[in-house]
Amino acid sequence: MDLNGKKALVTGGGRGIGKGCALELAGRGADLVVNDRPGSPDLAGTVQEIQGLGRRATGVEGNVFDRSGCHSVVAEAIDVLGSVDILISNPAYSVRADFVDYDPAEWQNTLDATLSSGFHMSQLVARHMIDRGSGGKIVFISSVHAEMSYQRNVAYNAAKAGLNHMARTIAAELAPHRINVNAIEPGWIDTPGERETFDDSHIQERAPTIPWKRLGLPADIGKAAAFLASDDADYITGSILKVDGGWVLKDV
């Protein structure tokens, strides 16, 4: 999974899964632009860690939940790196609530942030890749929520299911340009966001129910992303790769 000489853009890369992806790409030789939301308290630290690996890294703040923010981030990434060979699209937003009480505004916010953002980023980067004529790699971070109907997550479940089908459709259209498009479905990953949602006792109680007997780590997702972004995955496109420690099998 040699990524030497490759230029990557990772969105939502300040912490959690996005950071795990950024570090794994850097560890295999890629130079990066790492995006996170405006005012992110995490972005500078992630950039420093990547630089500590001996790779070039630049942090770019920007709201990729709308078209104009995506455009600004992509333009700055191309300006900084000269080109973008790899996109790891990792924006997400989720509010848990009962379906009958779900706020329509939060429904729209979740779709904009989790699904539409992926459309905008990938379209802008794909146009750049097509103009360059050198192919490229686009990896979406999806979720097992795309397949599993978790209650009180109606908007997020729908957004991730849509993301999977969007990824397959984009893969079919971009294949003639030798742009590989795939998605990763993380299971339950030990991220700061999960630690904010669930307390330690809940995690300690539930983690052994996963067939692999532990929560996943951001690095587990990062390694999968690095593989799909490498030449080793040249013949893989339109795939949805589950990286969940067997989570979806736990009740089988």
- Pick the catalytic residue from 93, 150, 156, 235: 156
User: What whole-number distance in Å separates Cα of residue 75 and Cα of residue 124?
Assistant: 9
Helix 43-52, helix 16-27: angle, nearest 10: 20
Asked whether the beta carbons of 9 and 35 are under 8 A apart, the reply is yes
Q: Where are the alpha helices (DSSP H) in 94-185?
A: 104-111, 117-132, 154-174
Asked whether the beta carbons of 4 and 226 are under 8 A apart, the reply is no
Q: Residue 86 burial (CB < 10 Å; 0-12/13-18/19+)?
A: buried
Q: Is 235 a catalytic residue?
A: no
> Which residues participate in catalysis according to the annotation?
156
